[in-house]
Structures are given as C-alpha cells and as structure tokens.
Amino acid sequence: MPDFPRTPSFNLSGKRALIVGASSGIGLACAVALAEQGAEVTLAARRADKLTKIVDQMTANKWLARSMVLDVSDVETTAEAVNKAGPFDILVNSAGLARHSKATETTIEDFDAVMDVNIRGAYFLTQTVAKGLLDAGIAGSLINISSQMAHVGGQDRAVYCASKHAVEGFTKAMAIEWGPAKIRVNTICPTFILTDLTRETFADPHKRAWILDKIKLGRAGEVEDIMGAVVYLASDAAALVTGTSMMIDGGWTAD
C-alpha cells in the first residue's frame, strides 16, 4: 500500500479559545465554529446579560463555554482579565468600531474612538494573549478579524480603512517576532457581511447596489462564510500559515 499523506486535524479538543466581540455577528459565529470543533470557548464582550444567555444556550448544546466582560479600549483592565483567565491557545478578536464620514468631515472624537478599539485595543489584546503563550511555552493561533478595507479604499471610510490597514501591519510584524515560538498571527478579511450592524447599509438601495457590483460572486457575505476560515486558521491544518490575510470578500479585491 502507498504511504499516503494524512490530512491535518481540524479538531480543537483540549484548546482554549478567547473570542472578543462574541455577543453577536461574526464574533458569535466564530465562537460557535470553534466550540463545534471541541474548543473550550470564552466569549467576551461588553454586554454581560447577552453573553450569559448565549453561554447558557451553548452549554445546553454540550459545548464548553464561559463568558468574560471586556471592553478592549480599556487596555489595562482587559490585560488583567485575560491574564487571570489565560493562557489561551487561540484568540479571535472580532471587536471593532466604524464611524463613517467623508474624510473632510472626520472629527477628532470619531478618529480617536475608532483607533482606540481597532488599533490600540487590538494591538494590546494580541500582545497580552501572546505574552501568556510565551510565558507558558506553548504554541498558539492569534486571529484578528480585519476587513477587505484593509487592502483597498472605500467611500466615506478613510478612518476605518486606516485602522484596518494598521492591523495588517502589526500582524505581519508580530508574526515575524513570535514565529520561532510557534505562535501564528493572521487576519481574516471579510467583505460586507449581513448582520444586525449592517442592515441599515443594505437597506439603502444605492449602497446595496454598490456593494453587490463590487462583489464578483454577486451576493453579500453571511456569518457562515467566516466559520470555516476561523476553524482552519485556529487548527493544525494551518500550521504553516502566519503573517498573512485570508480574504473572504467574494472577489472584491481581485481587481
């Protein structure tokens, strides 16, 4: 019999995952995907009541789940909470903020608010989880939910694009630094995903037409489109993947 290669495992049993921004949308979908593969998931967000209900539903489904109240813009408190609960083998950071306007109308308040979450919060959250892995001497997979807008420009999105381009930059640098410790750092870059937060955008026929015209597959994304990607990057199947972006954009950035 030939000695065939074996497909690496997608199973995450025995792994501990921290999913931030997990109370809805992409973050919740990522938590479900990792739990389905056997990971013990800690769902973190600002809304304690919603997290409690979700965790109750997940544990009733025989998944390993718990909750943690976090606001990533509060860097010091976040680091303290993550250090107390860690180390985590997997990080998925889906916390994000968007305040769209024409670049000539950007306010300092909006700029600072977006950067506090999307850059400062994401950077130090990733740093904190990595420090826990380094101290424990274990490998890990750190995933930031970025955006297709980290690779292109978008109308009325100068601040958001700036923040997501920066996430791609620190991802590459951190991947280089922590690669020898087998800590992988990557981003997932979705196109427009149908969630409660994007319903207003899709309700505008002009904006919807612009979006669908740019997506070569002719449809908006759904949270299910992200779930396989996060399992892949978290698992041994992606053991040689670091410092890069997984584009889930329906061909938006192919131009």
> Distance between CA 246 and CA 217 in Å, rounded?
17
Please report which confidence band the pLDDT of residue 154 belongs to, taking 50, 70 and 90 as the band edges. confident
Please report which confidence band the pLDDT of residue 194 belongs to, taking 50, 70 and 90 as the band edges. confident
**134 or 211, higher pLDDT:** 134
Predicted confidence (pLDDT) per residue in 92-102, tens digit: 999 988 888 89
| Residue 21 backbone zone (phi > 0: left; psi -120 to 50: alpha; other: beta) | left
Judge contact between 129 and 183, C-beta under 8 A.
Answer: no
Mean pLDDT of 188-204: 88
Say whether pLDDT at 126 is over 80: yes
Q: Which of 160, 178, 232, 252 is catalytic?
A: 160
Query: Burial, 213: exposed, middle or buried (Cβ in 10 Å; 0-12, 13-18, 19+)?
Result: exposed
> Distance between CA 171 and CA 149 in Å, rounded?
15
For the entire predicted model, the pTM comes to 0.94
Residue 1 has a pLDDT of: 61
Predicted confidence (pLDDT) per residue in 41-90, tens digit: 999 999 888 999 999 999 999 999 999 999 999 999 999 999 999 899 99
**28 or 204, higher pLDDT:** 28
Q: Give me the domains of the chain, ranges plus CATH numbers.
A: 16-193+224-248 (3.40.50.720)
**198 or 226, higher pLDDT:** 226
Catalytic site residue 232? no
